[in-house]
Homo-oligomer: A and B are copies of this chain.
Amino acid sequence: MANFKKEVAIIGIGLTQFGELWDKSFRSLIAEAGNKAIIDAEIKPDQIDGLFGGNMSGGLFIKQEHLASLAMDHGALLPMPAMRIESACSSGGQALRAGYMAIKSGLHEVVVAGGVEKMTDVLTGPTTEALATAADQEWEAFYGVTFPGEYALIARRHMNDYGTTEEQMAQVAVKNHYNGARNPNAQYQKEITLETVMKSTKVADPLKLFDCSPITDGAAAVILASAENAKEFCDNPIWLVGSGAATDTLALHDRDDLTTLKATVVAAQSAYKHAGVTQKDIDMAEVHDCFTIAEICAIEDLGFCKKGEGGKFTEQGHTSLTGDIPINTSGGLKSKGHPVGATGIAQAVEIVLQLRGDAGKRQVKNAEIGLTHNVGGSGGSCAVHIFSR
């Protein structure tokens, strides 16, 4: 096991229920996740000196920008500094990275890295249109392509190049619903069968309804502290030991290879290097399964299996809760839900629960090192983080 630099710790976590939360507002979700994290950390709000908040599109979803100040107001954290971080669906992962840098810079000692999205209150246009602003507006979204279509192109190419089957993709959904059924915060807490996925409505051929993550409301927060503060406040800090991020073209057609997300590859290499580990050291990972094919690409691009073998690897059970490398023990975006700006932070919450041994019915045994992988759009951005006990 690597001799990690234990410089930035997660000392508190908070997660709301994920789902279609008609009775909860954007601001109440922020307050709920933030307060849970503060209570979990057993600190006082005035010990927090900053916030980095991930959100994709408050402007289009709820006609509200200036979102980090709103969070400070409704989290009773005024007048400390705050900024909102946006990188489409990887906004949460990038907010975690911003919080890490804030602590390491010495400008902050204890910060919240949070994420929130309220997707079911759209005022200015349909949700799919808002999500399509993560694609290239001038070369993709304007012509009507949306994300199911983009990932369907990736899936078809993967099937063509590597013989990946629709059944193998469906197995990702079956596994993630199995895990989600063991997560009380998940949007869908029901197991499903392969037949359910295969018989579900086509959304964008070859992707079917059960290959797609849902529209979700939710918020998540973690509290980060420097090593000195962590030791003072906390008996069981989880250490954030590696951070990597990368970018790629927004437009899918500008890439060399549709099935390799270069942003994932570069971000992962950077995070592994930063932490001083290789993919073999990772005990479990939360990866960005916005569509089932995305999980297959992710486990390949992160190095957990060879390129092209992600479908077979999944089918063989290696990524199941009791497999060699459990993937998306939380249920993933597919079953836990995908409030886009919150997802990257919710992934971190799951890894912390696992490393603390608090993951209940979905606990992975003897977990020491976890990884989160958060993608923006069809791979225009990626953030990878590595955590250790």
CA A141 – CA B138 in complex, angstroms? 30
CB distance from A156 to the nearest CB of B (A): 23
**Across the interface, which residues of B come within 8 angstroms of A249, CB to CB?**
69, 73, 78
**Across the interface, which residues of B come within 8 angstroms of A165, CB to CB?**
none
Q: Let me know if B101 and A66 touch, CB within 8 A.
A: no
The residue in A27, A65, A84, A246 that gathers the most chain B C-beta atoms within 10 A of its C-beta is: A65
Of the A-B pairs whose beta carbons lie under 8 Å apart in the complex, a sample of 10, sorted by A's number, is: A63-B137, A70-B380, A78-B249, A81-B246, A82-B87, A83-B245, A85-B85, A98-B101, A100-B105, A103-B105
Q: Pick the residue among B72, B104, B107 that contacts A106 (CB under 8 A).
A: B104
- Prevailing SS type, chain A contact patch: mixed
- With CB as the reference atom, state the residue of chain B lying closest to A133: B65
Interface residues of A, Cβ cutoff 8 Å to B: 25, 27, 56-60, 62-70, 72-73, 77-88, 94, 97-98, 100-108, 124-125, 129-130, 133-138, 141, 243-250, 254, 262-263, 266-267, 270, 274, 376-377, 380-381, 383
Q: Let me know if B56 and A65 touch, CB within 8 A.
A: yes
Q: Let me know if A83 and B85 touch, CB within 8 A.
A: yes
Q: Let me know if A78 and B130 touch, CB within 8 A.
A: no
**Across the interface, which residues of B come within 8 angstroms of A80, CB to CB?**
246-247
CA A68 – CA B27 in complex, angstroms? 25
CA A182 – CA B249 in complex, angstroms? 39
The residue in A103, A249, A267, A270 that gathers the most chain B C-beta atoms within 10 A of its C-beta is: A249
Q: Let me know if A98 and B69 touch, CB within 8 A.
A: no
- With CB as the reference atom, state the residue of chain B lying closest to A73: B249
CA A194 – CA B106 in complex, angstroms? 47
